[in-house]
């Protein structure tokens, strides 16, 4: 694009040196939709989200209320039976869906935000900035994340905000390393050098040029991170390190673990819920990986 200003030293606009995203999003969506297992996982996740949003309106009840004889079998003490306190297992699963998904989603977003920010800064600036941030990353990486999370929650509080921050603080390192690797590779490409040559500022280069082209592997990592976070939340709930006034799937398993041989359903069904949601998220991540992979699209 020619400049109307004869004194303008650059005959090009910033937008012209920024290529279209390397991944054709429409084609990616088409390939993803052809993956039946990924679609199956997506449908089930949508069902879980629907249950989390509207389950309490469809089945108004108190998940902590004793409504049947303790240890009643499925079909006798409710659809999925009752636990050792006579609480309805089905209602517990319905009401446990929302906090489980909310904690996992928000914690994953905070985790990814920390990881992408630190990884982008390290990969873009390099040098001493990269060395310092990578040493910090290595420090957190050698700590057992689940144990570290448990310590933070046990020391401070079992409040839901503390739980979310504890999970995010201890699990951001994989996203940081992945983002750094993508930035180190992309920042040397010609269109990035061209954008820099015509005066694009560093923040604009990071946000408008490099990050959009680094998103495909990051989207996959974000998807899988949600599943991992659900497992972390379930482990904390199982150990009683979450808010006692909030019913979650992990809490249901933890409270009934001593009665497994007397009432297997009170442990098995919440465990199946955790297994299903994590498996479905993994299927979605696998489908995204196939869709974003140029070789699998015949390119």
d(CA 96, CA 90): 10
Whether 89 and 128 have beta carbons less than 8 Å apart is answered as no
Reply yes or no on domain 31-297 having CATH 1.10.3720.10.
yes
Looking at residue 143, what DSSP letter applies?
S
Whether 234 and 100 have beta carbons less than 8 Å apart is answered as yes
Residue 45, pLDDT score: 93
How many CA within 13 A on the CB side of residue 59? 19
Helices 89-125, 160-170: crossing angle, 10 deg rounding: 40
Spatial CB neighbours of 135, under 8 Å, sequence gap ≥ 6: none
What are the structure tokens assigned to 275, written together?
């297994």
Residue 127, pLDDT score: 87
Residue 126, pLDDT score: 85
Query: What are the strands, taking DSSP E only, across the chain?
Result: none
Main-chain dihedrals φ then ψ at residue 82, nearest 5 degrees: -130, 160
CA-closest candidate to residue 167, choices 96, 98, 100: 100
Residue 292, pLDDT score: 77
Main-chain dihedrals φ then ψ at residue 73, nearest 5 degrees: -70, 160
What are the structure tokens assigned to 160, written together?
């839901």
Domain ranges for the chain: 31-297
Whole-structure pTM value: 0.82
Spatial CB neighbours of 209, under 8 Å, sequence gap ≥ 6: 18, 191, 192, 195, 200
pLDDT tens over the chain, length 299 residues: 444 444 444 444 444 444 455 446 677 788 888 888 999 999 999 999 999 999 889 999 889 888 888 888 888 878 898 898 889 999 999 999 999 899 989 999 999 999 999 999 999 998 899 999 999 999 998 888 889 999 999 898 888 899 999 999 999 999 999 999 999 888 888 888 888 888 778 888 888 888 888 888 888 888 888 989 999 999 999 988 888 888 999 999 999 988 888 889 999 999 999 999 999 999 998 888 888 765 554 44
Residue 203, pLDDT score: 87
Residue 295, pLDDT score: 57
Quickly count helices (H) and strands (E) in the chain: 13, 0
**Residue 29 Cα distances to 14, 37, 69, 297, 299, angstroms:** 28, 14, 50, 11, 16
What are the structure tokens assigned to 239, written together?
């150990």
């Amino acid at each position: 694009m020619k400049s109307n200003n004869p004194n303008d030293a650059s005959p090009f606009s910033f937008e012209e040196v920024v290529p279209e995203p390397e991944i054709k999003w429409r084609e990616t969506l088409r390939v993803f939709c052809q993956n039946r297992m990924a679609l199956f996982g997506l449908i089930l996740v949508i069902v879980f989200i629907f249950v989390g949003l509207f389950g309490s309106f469809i089945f108004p009840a108190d998940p902590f209320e004793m409504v049947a004889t303790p240890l009643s079998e499925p079909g006798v003490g409710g659809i999925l039976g009752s636990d050792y306190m006579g609480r309805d297992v089905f209602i517990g699963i319905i009401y446990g869906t929302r906090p489980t998904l909310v904690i996992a989603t928000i914690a994953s977003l905070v985790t990814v935000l920390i990881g992408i920010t630190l990884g982008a800064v390290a990969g873009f600036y390099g040098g001493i900035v990269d060395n310092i941030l990578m040493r910090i990353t290595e420090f957190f990486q050698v700590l057992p994340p689940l144990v570290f999370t448990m310590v933070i929650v046990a020391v401070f509080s079992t409040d839901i905000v503390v739980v979310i921050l504890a999970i995010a603080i201890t699990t951001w390192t994989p996203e940081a390393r992945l983002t750094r690797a993508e930035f180190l590779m992309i920042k040397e490409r010609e269109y990035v050098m061209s954008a820099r040559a015509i005066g694009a500022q560093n923040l604009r280069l990071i946000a408008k040029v490099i990050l959009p082209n680094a998103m495909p592997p990051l989207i996959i990592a974000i998807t899988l991170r949600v599943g991992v976070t659900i497992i972390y939340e379930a482990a904390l709930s199982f150990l009683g390190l979450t808010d006692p006034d909030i019913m979650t799937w992990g809490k249901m398993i933890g409270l009934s673990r001593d009665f497994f041989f007397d009432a297997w359903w009170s442990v098995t069904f919440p465990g199946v819920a955790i297994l299903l949601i994590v498996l479905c998220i993994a299927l979605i991540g696998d489908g995204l990986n196939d869709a974003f992979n140029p070789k699998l699209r015949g390119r």
